[in-house]
Structure formats: C-alpha cells, structure tokens
Structure 1
C-alpha cells in the first residue's frame, strides 16, 4: 500500500493528467456508482465468488463421507468349453452338471460400505472444508476492498486531472496574451525579435502540455473503464464533486484507532487467523494416520446360469446370500508416510502463524504510511496556498512591468513558471491529502466518501 501511494504521488507529480469531460447524452457516474458497478461486474470478483460456491460443494462432500456408501453391480458372462464332455458349475447353492459347450451366467450384488472410525480424519476434514469456505468468503471481501481502493485512487486522479487541466488551460491563455502584448512591444521597437521568439515558443510549449494532458486523460479514463469491465467505446461521463478546504484540512483519525479497527475487520487479517485454525486441523488430520481404521461392510447377492433346470426367478431365490462383516486395519509400517505428513502439517502451522504476523506488520505499515502522507499533504497544502498567493502577486507585478516595457522576457517567463509550479504543488497536495484521508477512513471501517 505504501508503494502504491508512492506511485500515485509520482504520477501526480510527473504527469499533467486527465481532463474529465461531461456529455449530457451518456450516463453520469459518481464515485459510488463506479464502486457499485465494479462490485457487480468485475471478472476477478466473480471468479472468487465461483470459488466460494465450490467450497460449499466441498463441505457437502466432506459431510457425505460420514455416511455409508451403497452400490449395485452386475456381471454377465458367456462361457464356452468346446472340448469338455460334461462340466460341473457352482451357481449359488446349486451344483449344475451340464454337457452344453456354451453357457451363460449372471451375478447381481448390492454392496454397502461404512467407515465407522478412522482416527477422526473425516470430522477434521469437514471442519477444514468449513474453514476453507470462510476463507473463500473473506477472499471475496478482500477483492471487494481492493476494487474500492483502486477505483477511489483513479477517481481522485481524475479529480486532480480536472483541476490540473484548468491550470494548464489558463496558463496557455496567459501565454497567448503575453505573446500578443509582445508583438505590440516588438512593433513599437521595445522588444527584440529573440525575446518575441521566446514568448512564441512558450505558447507552443504550453499548447503541447495541454495536448499531452488530454492524451493522458484518455488513457486514464480507459483504465477506469477496464476496471469497471466497460467497453472502450461505451459512453462514460463522471460526476466530479467540488471539494473545499474543509475536506482537505479535515482532522485525521487517530492512527492507533484506525489500526485497532482494521485489525478487527480487515478480511486479510481474519483470513490469516482462519488459516492458523485450518493448519491446526491439518495436524490432527495427519495424526489420524497413526490410528486404526474400523469399517463395516454388507452385501446381498445372487447368481444365475443358463444350464440350470430352474427358471431365472428360482435361481435368484435359491442363490440369494447375504453377508455382513467388520474389518480392522492397523498401520504398522508405512515407509514414514504418516510421520512426514505430521511434520509437514506442523510446518504449515508455523508458516500460517508467520503469515499472520507479516499481514499485521503490512497493515500497520500501510496505515502509518497513509497517516503520515495525509498529514504531510495537509501541511504542504497550507504552505502551497501561501506560495501561490505570493507567486501570483509577483507575476502580476512583473507582467504589468513587462507590458510597460520595464521587465524583460526572461524575468516574465521565470515568474510565470514559478506561478505554474506553485499551483501544481497546491493541487498535488490537495488531492494527496484527500486520497490518504479517504483510505484511512476506509481502513477504519467507514464507507468511501469524498
């Protein structure tokens, strides 16, 4: 998260971003509408929800393994004895003597199998599948949170772009007015041709920056549309709110309070805790391999033979037999398989504990980074406001003196660039403060609101 914030800071600093344009013919999207739409349509989120449904099926399978299994089987054979004069065949309870060279026999069996006890392995597996289901549900929540954060970041970048493009546009208008005045001074003989060329070059440079900003805006708009799974040609108009100083300089929540709240509600933390519980169950399931397995089996079957003098129904009746039995399997030597399984399960448990500690550290680092960045941005905003006012005053004075022929081109362009830089710093600090404060509130459990 800290790296992501740094990347956003770099983008805001280096590029003259986006320009949000309204078109009354298309749907207007607010930040909340963007979030709601993404939570419904995002492909990755839908895939996670499918995984959650699969985990529900795994629970049903694990629960079903606690009950007996029942199956029916039948087999039919044609037997040919070309060189045998007479054969004796046991069919059920019948001993059939036949001189037929080709006979047909069939068997029918109903079988039941039930594992009575296997060291608690099935119960532990059921508990693990339920935990996996809870983890899958938290994965869905984690993806939802990530989507909301990404959309918020892009939306605030667009807000920054909208204001930044206005600064560039007004700067271009000033450059044009200055160049026009320069032409007048050149005609009067008060300005050299080299100085006039500098003013013309400045107009061209400002025009280039404006074109670049509009191109960047189209790229960022495409990124947001892709995040929302919208078609590239679909109309996409954003409703950009007006944000005043109160939104920018609003008091930040306590860093400790945000962290404590996040520890209780963030899905990545809850998922790591459940992974520890799952690893404990894994150890118990692995230890079950050391215990005996007790199984109960039962069957009911009968056979028929074409060589019998009895009809099919009589053969089924007389050949009918039932069986019930219990079996005990005791592991004695398994080539170290059970021991290795237990050791691996314990290592997985240790890994899950370390993963939780790592997630907690990452969460604290993210919140601390957001809080410090928000505080720094607020302080920078206050300083930048003062700088813009002084730069504006200085530029106005130099511009007036230039129009009177008292200042040269270099002095004028220097003051103009200083003013542009101050305005960009102000806008950058403004939206960095808003972004980090908004994400802080989100980590504390609040809905995203600008």
Structure 2
C-alpha cells in the first residue's frame, strides 16, 4: 500500500514513466479505480444511515416561534343566559337561551415561543430498522468486494496483454534483425553472382512486411498500456511501463485442484443474495411489529402574548405568559384495511424469488467453475502443442538457413521456413495469452482471484 501511495504522484503526471510489477498495478487500482471509489462512498453512506437510524431513538427537541397579525378577529356566538341577562335588542318573546350575541375575542397581534421534546419509549419499527441498517452496511461492503474483484480481474488481463505485446514486439524485432542479416547476405551473394535478383526481392518483401508489423506492434503496446492505466484509475496519458516479462508469469498447477474444496457460498455473488434475503426478512419483521402499539414520552413548554400594537409584543417582562405540558403518547393500531397483510405477502413472494435466484446462481457458478477449468486445461494443452511447434519451426529454419548458406538450399525454402517460424512464434504467444486469461477466469470462478487483506 505504501508503494502504491508513493507511486501515485508519478502516475498522475503526463510526463515521465514508472516501472511497475503486477502487484503494484493492482494496489494502485484498488486505491484509484472510480468503480471502487464509488463503492467505498456507498459503504460510508450506509454507515451514516445506521447513525441516522440510531438518532431516531434519541430525544427529539424542536423550537418554534410564531407572530401573527390578526387583521380580522374570529367571531364567536354566545347565548343571553350565558351573559346573565337579556339582550335589549332581542324580541320580547325570545328567551335568554334563544338570544344569540356575536362577540370577537383576541388582540390585533399575538406571538408565542414553544419548545417541544419527545422521547421514544417503545417502537418496534425502530429496533428492527436499526438491525436492518447494519445489514445495509454489510450489503455495501459485499458490493465493494465485488467491485474490487472485477477491477483486479481487469487489471490482470490488461497487464498480461501488455506483457504479450512486449513479447510480440521483441519477436518482431528479432525477425527484423534476422531478415536484415539474411537480406545483406543474399545481396552479397547476388553481387558475387551466386544468387539471383528474385532471391533478393523475395527476402526484401518479407523484410518490408516485418517493418510494417514493427510499427503495428509498437502501437499495440501503447494502446495496451493506456488500457492498463484506465483500469488502474490513473491518467491514461501517463506511460505505465511494466517491469516483468511474460516468462516471469508461471502457471500454478494447484489452481487446477481449487474446485475440489470450493463451495458456491464462497463467491461474493452468493453472499450478496444472502444479505438481500436478510434485508427482506427484516422488512417482513418490521411489518409484523407494526401491529404493536408505539409509546412516546412528550412534553412542551413556551410563552405567549397578545397586544393591539406590534410594539406590545416586545414587553417580555409583563405581557408574556408561560405554559407547559408533559405526558405520554400511546398509539394503538386497530385496523388498516389489511394493508400490512398485503405488504407481508409481497415480501414473502420476494423471499421466494430470492430462493430461486440463489439456486440458479449456485448452478451457474458450478457450471462456470467446470467450464473455466476445462478451458484452462485446453489452453495449457494448446500451449504445449504450440511450444513444440515453435521449437520444430526454429530447427527447420536453422537447418534451411545452413543449407542455403552452403548453396544446397533454395531461397524459396528459406523464406517459407522463416515465415513458418514467425507464425509458430505468434501462435505460441497467442496460446500463452489465452492460457493466462483462462487462469484468471478460473481464479475468479473459485474465489481465489482477490481476497481482502491477502
């Protein structure tokens, strides 16, 4: 990790180059790749969600200040017997109880300042939500691990591509040097009358083709280096120079036996489905506890005043009067039209779907492991075959070259032997790259590609 952190400033520049090995590239990618950074932010978000849920169980305190201009006071109606006498404007036959008098109460201005406090005593949804919030953290962490595995896979494959392209460039340079020597020798033989012009031209055609391949190989290295930088999450314009060679990457035969001790539950995909199942169970539990009462302790206190002028509201010492209450609030659910029951049924159907997903994913993983192992075995067999072909093609070329130099071989045979040797080399390293990719696929399928802390 310290190596990765030290190398970051160099990789962020567009100038210069840094030589890295595979592990250093992986370390830098785990620190800089945008997909991983996004998943890490999701983990932090879920942790804040837990804190938010905990805050629900803490005292809730709110303050409120209001000031009103009562430009039209509300009118109330009272009977005559309430006033203790008859209304002189009422008809003589009307009794006091029938006599209605409109009266307006209040002041032109009023204000109040209130402080309210509530404390949760019992709410089943709170405790279930607290457990579920912690499970959300687990879900985000599992998703982070999956992102890290995908990034490691991409970095490894891009790194191997750089190594293969480096080897291809080396082969092209060797072939170019070999043909250059052959072209000079044939030119001398032609000058001395021991070869024909067509022999020189035939070799020159092959020489020109190799020169064209050289430029193409150089461009492929640059492209593969940019791809590696992209997966590492660093500036793609900063040249990442790998220090290893393809021959440094050895196949570990033990990986072929990794499936014997492998269980599908070791894969992060199965673990993610397990966490989703836990969340669905918490949701079902939350629906059930909503049938229970909720109990809160509540209290509020404040001051209020009234005046016929705005300035009267500021007489805090004489015109403001206090009030306060304290108590408990019990909320009892009685009937909700069977809404909670329907919600519970939906969650049960989701749990059933998750069970099918787990079964299908387990079978898909088992098939992936089997196929990855078969592909790697086939790739290793092909690699052995191509290696033997390359050795034979090299022997044929060397023999044909000696025969040509001694004057008992033809120019056509030599060019054909060289072309066959080049083809055998290309096929060998293509097979080597396929074997490396299938090795990565098998490592991922059995859960050994990347593990946190290892």
Asked whether the two chains share a fold, i.e. TM above 0.5, the reply is: yes
Q: CA deviation at 1:220?
A: 0.7
* Structure 1 pair 306–361 and aligned structure 2 pair: CA distance change class (3 A): same
Indicate whether 1:109 and 2:114 are aligned: yes
Equivalence map 1:362-373=2 (5 Å): 362-373=364-375
Task: Say which SS state the counterpart of residue 259 (structure 1) adopts.
Answer: coil
1:38 maps onto 2:29 in alignment: yes
Q: Equivalent of 1:259, from 259, 262, 267?
A: 262
Alpha-carbon shift at residue 201 of structure 1 (Å): 1.5
* Displacement after TM superposition at 1:75 (Å): 1.5
Deviates more, 1:227-236 or 1:304-313: 304-313
- The 3 A distance-change label for structure 1 pair 417 and 357 is farther
**Counterpart for residue 160 of structure 1:** 164
CA–CA separation in structure 1 for the residues paired with 2:298 and 2:105 = 37
- One of 28, 50, 73 as aligned partner of 2:19: 28
Query: Which of 339, 353, 359 is the matching residue for 2:355?
Result: 353
Structure 2 CA distance, aligned partners of 1:239 and 1:429?
Answer: 22
User: What SS does the corresponding residue of 2:235 show, helix, strand or coil?
Assistant: coil
Q: 1:243 aligns with which of 241, 247, 263?
A: 247
Find the partner of 1:419 among 376, 397, 421: 421
Structure 1 residue 207 displacement after superposition: 1.1
How far has the Cα of 1:58 moved from its partner?
A: 0.7
Match of 1:15? none
Shift of 1:61: 1.4
Q: Secondary structure at the match of 1:234?
A: coil
Q: What's 1:342 paired with?
A: 344
SS of corresponding position for 2:108:
strand
Contact 1:255 1:368 in 2 (8 A): no
Could you list the runs of 5+ residues in structure 1 that have no partner in the other structure?
1-24, 85-97
Return the index of the structure with the highest Cα Rg: 2
Inter-partner Cα distance in structure 1 for 2:265 and 2:328: 54
Superposition CA RMSD, Å: 3.5
8 A Cα contact 1:301 1:322, kept in partner: no
Q: State how far apart, in whole Å, the 1-side matches of 2:226 and 2:135 are.
A: 39
1:265-314 deviation line (CA, Å, top 9, x unaligned): x4333222111111111222234455555555433344212269997445
Cα distance between partner residues in 2 of 1:211 and 1:301: 84
Give 3-state SS (helix, strand or coil) of 1:254's partner: helix
Cα distance, 1:26 vs structure 2: 4.1
Which position in structure 2 is the counterpart of 1:324? 327
Mapped pair 1:65 → 2:65: no
Aligned to 1:88: none
Q: Kindly tell me: are residues 101 and 145 of structure 1, through their superposed partners in 2, closer, same or farther at Cα, counting changes over 3 Å?
A: closer
User: What is residue 51 of structure 1 aligned with on the other side?
Assistant: 42
Pair 1:137–1:410, CA change in 2 (3 A):
same
Deviations 1:385-419 (A, max 9, x none): 32222222222222233344544444333322222
Displacement of 1:156 in angstroms is 1.6
Over 3 Å counting, the alpha-carbon distance change for 1:166 and 1:81 in structure 2 is closer
In structure 2, how many angstroms separate the alpha carbons of the residues matched to 1:381 and 1:228?
Answer: 29
Tell which deviates more after alignment, 340-349 or 304-313: 304-313
Number of residue pairs matched?
Answer: 405
Counterpart in 1 of 2:381? Answer: 379
Map residues 6-405 of structure 1 onto 2, 5 A cutoff: 26-80=17-71, 103-114=108-119, 116-118=121-123, 120-187=124-191, 192-241=196-245, 243=247, 247-248=250-251, 250-257=253-260, 259-260=262-263, 263-264=265-266, 266-290=267-291, 293-306=294-307, 312-313=316-317, 315-317=319-321, 319-334=322-337, 337-405=339-407
* Distance (whole Å) between structure 2 residues aligned to residue 168 and residue 159 of structure 1: 14
In 2, distance between residues paired with 1:208 and 1:424?
16
Deviations 1:403-445 (A, max 9, x none): 4454444433332222222222322333444454466457454
Instruction: Tell me the TM-score normalised to structure 1 length.
Output: 0.77
1:171-194 CA deviation, whole Å, 9 max, x = no partner? 222222333344345446665545
Distance in 1 (alpha carbons) for counterparts of 2:397 and 2:379: 25
Secondary structure of residue in 1 paired with 2:247: coil
Q: Distance in 2 between matches of 1:251 and 1:312?
A: 85
Q: Distance in 1 between matches of 2:450 and 2:307?
A: 79
* CA pair 102-109 structure 1, distance change in 2 beyond 3 A: closer
Question: Is the 1:168–1:206 Cα contact (8 Å) retained in structure 2?
Answer: yes
